Amino acid sequence: MEKKEKFGKLRELGLKLTPQRLAILDFLDGNTSHPSAEEIYANVSRSFPSMSFATVYNTLDALRERGQIVELNLDPAKKRFDPNTKPHHHLVCASCYKIVDVMRDYRVRIPPEERSGFRLQGKQITFIGTCPECQAAEAPAEAP
């Protein structure tokens, strides 16, 4: 996203235009790693050492409230953020909590008698497994 577009986006969202907020948007733009607030802070604070963690958290909260990012609670240690707001599912590694997008839709139907009166608005499926890196680390070392 170009700088002019980012300014426009922040302005449309009613957010104050600051270099730090632009850097946060820049970091999130196209990011598929589902970063935590801490990871975003660590990355962006390299360019803005005086930036506070509160700036990152408040910006993420404002973006979430305005539907620009999705907050994920798939990692028990920290919240993760997804700039892809289109409906999709996730693969989550049970060892390292790496999160990967699954863009294919899967038909899942919950019978009315099992909905507890809920009116469904959508779905998000979380697949849990072990990523290739963790599988490799778990593999027994080969004997020489």
Separation between Cα atoms, residue 81 and residue 29, nearest integer Å: 12
Domain coverage including residue 144: 86-144
Please check if 134 is assigned to a binding site: yes
Please report the pLDDT score of residue 15 as a whole number.
79
48 and 118 within one domain: no
End-of-domain residue from the set 69, 85, 101 = 85
Specify the CATH number for the domain of residue 107.
3.30.1490.190
Q: What is the pLDDT along the chain (144 residues), one digit of tens a residue?
A: 566 666 667 677 787 888 998 899 999 999 999 999 999 999 999 999 999 999 999 999 999 998 999 999 998 889 999 999 999 999 999 999 999 999 999 988 899 999 999 998 888 899 999 999 999 998 776 555
Please check if 93 is assigned to a binding site: yes
Q: Which two tokens stand for residue 123?
A: 């779905």
91 and 80 within one domain: no
99 and 68 within one domain: no
CA neighbours closer than 13 Å in the CB half-sphere of residue 102: 14
77 and 19 within one domain: yes
Q: What are phi and psi of 24, to 5 degrees?
A: -65, -45
Separation between Cα atoms, residue 60 and residue 34, nearest integer Å: 13
Separation between Cα atoms, residue 68 and residue 89, nearest integer Å: 17
Report helix, strand or coil for 52.
Answer: coil
**pTM score:** 0.82
- Split into its structural domains, the chain has a count of 2
